[in-house]
Amino acid sequence: MFQFLFGPKNPTRDWERPSNLRLTFDLDCGELNGVGLGQRLDRLSFLGPIEDREGLRAGEYRYCSFGLSVGCYNDAQIIDCFDIVQKDRYLPQYRPFSGICHYLGENLDLGRLTEESAIETFGSPFWKDQDDEEIILFYEFPNREWQVEFALDRTFNRIIVTSKPLMADERQRNAYGVNKPWPPRQ
């Protein structure tokens, strides 16, 4: 009953954030400060308590001041995704990702990333979707998916790095109109 009224228990409540915390996200392996997809949420205790309890009901651990959300959509609190945010039209309290993002050993300036520069940097996506609100480039890897999202003006919104690829679901591929074979060739 308490969980219904007050939401799920907050496992981050007693976590302590060091005052000199610096974040580094490595796109190549899907790791935040060395903690990756498939690892336990408590390995991220250095982030401190979440800043937005509303996300807990959906399994989202939101750190808006860092421009970061961590998804654990399971009872075992295993990390399913990282959401590196530049801007969010629905949750304007998100600040741009405060850390460094690495790709192929180089710093990636997310604030300057555009759809065109993303394709130039990452290569052609498996699939591109565009609707009346956003553009998403889907990049597929053996153990993860990147969903690189842009506003219609082609400026960067976010990158979701997930171990639960949306494109692996045939219904999702059909909904997005994907006409390529699955799984993609590596």
d(CA 65, CA 136): 24
Q: What is the mean pLDDT of residues 24-34?
A: 97
Predicted local confidence at residue 1, as pLDDT: 42
The predicted pLDDT at position 2 comes to 44
pLDDT for residue 5 is more than 70: no
Q: Report the distance separating Cα 90 and Cα 52, nearest Å.
A: 14
Mean pLDDT of the chain: 93
Predicted local distance difference test score (pLDDT) of residue 74: 83
3-class DSSP state of 10: coil
pLDDT for the residue 3? 46
Beta strand 127-130 with 31-32 is: unpaired
d(CA 19, CA 49) in angstroms, rounded, equals 13
Query: What pLDDT is recorded for position 7?
Result: 54
Cα 56 versus chain centre, distance: 15
User: 70 in helix, strand or coil?
Assistant: strand
As a whole number, mean pLDDT of residues 98-119 equals: 96
Around 103, how many Cα atoms within 13 Å sit in the side-chain half-sphere? 13
102 neighbors 24 (Cβ within 8 angstroms)? yes
Residue with tokens 């976590």: 15
Does position 97 have pLDDT exceeding 50, yes or no? yes
Domain spans of the chain, in order of start: 16-175
